Structure 1
Amino acid sequence: MTLSTAAQATLLLTSYFSKPAKGAAKPLTPTEWGRFAQWLHETNHTPGDLLSHTAPWVLGKWSDEKISRERLEALLQRGSSMALALEKWQRSGLWIITRSDPDYPKRLKKRLKHAAPPVLYGCGNAELLNAGGLAVVGSRKAGNEDLTYARMLGAKANQAAVGIVSGGARGIDEAAMQGAIQEGGPVIGILSEGLLKAATSSQWRQGLMSGGLVLASPYYPEASFNTGNAMGRNKYIYCLADAAVVVHSGSSGGTKAGAEENLKKGWVPLWVKPTQDPEAGNQALVDAGGSWCEHDIEQLDIGSLFPARHPLSAEEPPHQPDITSIKQFTSDTDAAKSETGKVSEDAAHDDGSESETDNGQHETVTEEPETHDVGALKSSETTASPQTPDSPEGETISEGLEESASELNQLPQPDLFGGIVSNEDAPHPEKPEPVTADTYSQEEQPAKHARESSEPPWQPAQIDFYQLFLSELQRLAQNPRTADDITTETGLHKTQVNAWLKQAVEEGRLEKLNRPVRYRVVSSSSTSDTKRSKQHPERKTESTT
């Protein structure tokens, strides 16, 4: 997994790498990140500057009541935690894209502006994220008739070269996605929980291995279920699609709230399946502005669900995503042990309201003033391009600006694990068409002046994961901790943890306590005394004498 310094900085400022510790700095929400990225642009800086020697000078100019400088500095100091988490996720086949990457969904940027998530975690064919399609949503407690309708709707959409977008939850979501997967996809699943576990689950293996499925999430890949995340991801389902069908909605809850938000924002046309269920909220959604769709799935015309400008219209030929270009999917079941938590009975689409949860994975989003859509300057499959802010509304980007951006893209980018990605190894972008400010969102616009990049001070030529483990122990084992506690906190395999603990004890870095067996970090002064004793045993003898 190769990330540019801009992508690394974005991750450090906006993401979790383990369960949040009490009192630890909380990553920036999408709205907070949008505001900070806007400031970086206005001061002619990029996120990558925050990992260079100029970082103290850049942050020294920042002042905000809600986003303190101390909070930003604390988040940027989590380099070792990020490296350990990325190594674990990569072994399970996960990838990461940020808003500066070419693969980032353009529909999210255009429709959500600053509220678009700065980071997406995923597995499977990332190219599908820009394919669009038909969103199919509904209740977890749907009856057999509705489940059959959803499954056949997924299959029928695939036969019409239309992808399915849904949330991966049991019930309507799962039925629609499986119906399409059995026909070969394409399918986009936006998960609110357990992405790491889903990456190695037999449930999705067929779609992932064939390249017809992508699973993505804006949340910590090991997050367990919580209502806030399930409610929050609904808008991403609508915004990644071109039309939506609600198969079954409760009279209240997530499905209804998400559909009403879509009607209010006007993202995509909303269709509602007729139902005889007196407790359903389908009628209320039609009253709010939705439209009834064909009740008989055999008679349903998929093309009629889309607006005239959709590729299925007569003006343009159907667009079928290329699902033959498959990113290699690897799995390591030992590394896929993620915390799934206990899922409540009416989870995902049907319960709760937006609120900040205990693990800090979701926060109600307040939209920023509108900014313009995003474009990608550099096409790269595995290397993230530098993340740069957008230009003010209405301003046209000059030819000189494009040249500066081109120079910036030609600079070698440091790899998280110590390698340098040269511009010769990376795919070369096609010549871009003339670009205006309408093409870029705030943090992705090319910088006005190319700056020399420098490796972040915490990044050695080659990362020693044992040393990263020791640095984590400085935080985890100030007080005695068991091997199981440390295994849980780091997310590493127990065998690896035990081997490193044994090595650390032998080196005098850890103190092993018994009854029960626990480990505690040895202070630097104690470590020095131990080393001196080993190097000069005669001194100890003389002292004893």
Structure 2
Amino acid sequence: MSGPAAGRQLTDRQRLNWLRLIRTPNVGPITFRHLINRYGSAENAIGMLPELRLNGGAMQRVRIPSVDETETEMDVAARHGARFVCIGEPDYPPILKTVDHPPPVLAVKGNAKVFGLPALSIVGARNASLAGIKLARSFATELGRDGYCVVSGLARGIDTAAHQGSLATGTVAVLAGGLDRPYPPENTALIEEIAERGAVVSEMPFGWQPRAQDFPRRNRIVAGLGLGLLVVEAAKRSGSLISARLAGEMGRLVFAVPGSPLDPRAGGTNALLKDGAILTTEPADIVQALTPLTGAVMPSPRTFEEPADFAATPPPGDDERARVIEALGPVPVGVDEIIRHTDMHPAQVFMVLLELDLAGRLERHAGGHVSLLFPD
């Protein structure tokens, strides 16, 4: 995604328009990138949204946040001691830029210098055992002393213990809702402590109450911010295993603490070990594995990209749109497959998919696959 040159700040107007664009319904990180690449700026893209949605078959007008609404959110952020950081700016976490489709804008409260430390993500059960809580806290403390930042999701149990153990050395908490809607509420005081030496981040709007479907998005950022991810306790079906899977897909190292086969909270961690996770019984196991990665440049993911002449290619007509829609269905297919099947210019295929996405008619899947959504 095109953004400010490395280390350059956006102007206040650019930042406001980035926030307006990402807060628009059906504009996610992938669509945001396509729009910026096509139209050169968020401001230009916003002006094109009504036409693009209409081309995609949207039945209702797009609800774009107004300048006043966006300025209000920015004022609310400032009152909470937070600010918005855009990808490519100096305070954006460098390692997060390497994940597939990173969030274009993050709300950040605290000290962005913590993003410069090598990081380990720690996750685990909310209903953790006392032994698991003690272990997570002690691991976080020792890793902090070894120069690592600890990242977690502020949940009860293991997450809370990991943050508490690394308060003195730097920790990052990732929220599933707005920074003013911490979950669980009892960790509100912990957020303030974290922000003193570390940072609290979220991609969600201020005022956003977290829902169940928001936690996988949070887990993705948790996994993306670390060189590796440690699972202390996790059942066989848990968000922690989702985080571990995401970390593995991102090329991060996955660590797991073994547990008793009789404890259901160890079912997930033991399964991870069977699948190749690194057996972890002491912080030295993590340090030994991560040391070669510390200071190394993380490779960018291999993702499908628009062709270089994306912005210069004539827009698709009705016939081209029909051909792409005919090639789509409820079963996910690769974008490259659509291009080969329709024999259309890649830029035109990307454009049709962008229109469908903005109209709420496209679902994106892992690996650059897409499917068509049908009305209920």
Matched, 1:98 2:98: no
Contact 1:160 1:302 in 2 (8 A): no
Correspondence list, 1:6-405, <5 A: 6-15=14-23, 26=25, 28-40=27-39, 45-49=40-44, 55=47, 62=52, 65-66=55-56, 74-75=63-64, 78-112=66-100, 115-181=101-167, 184-198=168-182, 201-209=188-196, 212-263=197-248, 265-278=249-262, 279=264, 280-294=267-281, 297=282, 300-306=284-290, 308-311=292-295, 369-371=303-305, 392=308
In structure 2, C-alpha distance between the alignment counterparts of 1:237 and 1:37, rounded to whole Å: 26
Amino acid at match of 1:93: G
Contact 2:171 2:199 in 1 (8 A): yes
> 1:231 deviation in Å?
1.7
- Identical amino acids, percent of aligned pairs: 20
Superposed CA deviations along residues 248-273 of structure 1, whole A, max 9, x for unmatched, are 1111121112212322x142111100
Between Structure 1 and Structure 2, the one with more helix by share is 2
Superposed CA deviations along residues 128-159 of structure 1, whole A, max 9, x for unmatched, are 23433111111101100000000001100111
In structure 1, C-alpha distance between the alignment counterparts of 2:89 and 2:171, rounded to whole Å: 21
Amino acid at match of 1:155: T
Aligned residue pairs total: 291
Provide closer, same or farther for how the CA distance between residues 69 and 132 of structure 1 changes in structure 2, counting only shifts above 3 A: farther
Contact 2:152 2:163 in 1 (8 A): yes
Matching residue of 2:359: none
Contact 2:163 2:194 in 1 (8 A): no
Superposed CA deviations along residues 356-394 of structure 1, whole A, max 9, x for unmatched, are xxxxxxxxxxx99445xxxxxxxxxxxxxxxxxx9949x
> 1:60 deviation in Å?
8.5
In structure 1, C-alpha distance between the alignment counterparts of 2:250 and 2:79, rounded to whole Å: 40
Correspondence list, 1:514-529, <5 A: none
Q: What secondary structure sits across from 1:185 in the alignment? A: coil
| TM score, norm. by length of structure 2 | 0.69
Contact 1:103 1:130 in 2 (8 A): no
Contact 1:239 1:267 in 2 (8 A): no
Contact 1:59 1:69 in 2 (8 A): no
Contact 1:185 1:207 in 2 (8 A): no
Q: What secondary structure sits across from 2:180 in the alignment? A: helix
Provide closer, same or farther for how the CA distance between residues 87 and 146 of structure 1 changes in structure 2, counting only shifts above 3 A: same
Q: What secondary structure sits across from 2:232 in the alignment? A: strand
Matching residue of 2:12: 4
Amino acid at match of 1:4: D
Q: What secondary structure sits across from 1:274 in the alignment? A: coil
Superposed CA deviations along residues 12-44 of structure 1, whole A, max 9, x for unmatched, are 1212xxxxxxxxx6251222212222322xxxx
Q: CA RMSD in A?
A: 3.2
In structure 2, C-alpha distance between the alignment counterparts of 1:35 and 1:69, rounded to whole Å: 22
Listed as ranges, the gaps of 5+ residues in structure 1 are 16-24, 314-366, 372-389, 394-545
Q: What secondary structure sits across from 2:122 in the alignment? A: strand
In structure 2, C-alpha distance between the alignment counterparts of 1:165 and 1:106, rounded to whole Å: 14
Amino acid at match of 1:6: Q
Listed as ranges, the gaps of 5+ residues in structure 2 are 1-9, 310-376
In structure 2, C-alpha distance between the alignment counterparts of 1:60 and 1:29, rounded to whole Å: 16
In structure 2, C-alpha distance between the alignment counterparts of 1:288 and 1:272, rounded to whole Å: 11
Provide closer, same or farther for how the CA distance between residues 260 and 288 of structure 1 changes in structure 2, counting only shifts above 3 A: farther
Amino acid at match of 1:128: V
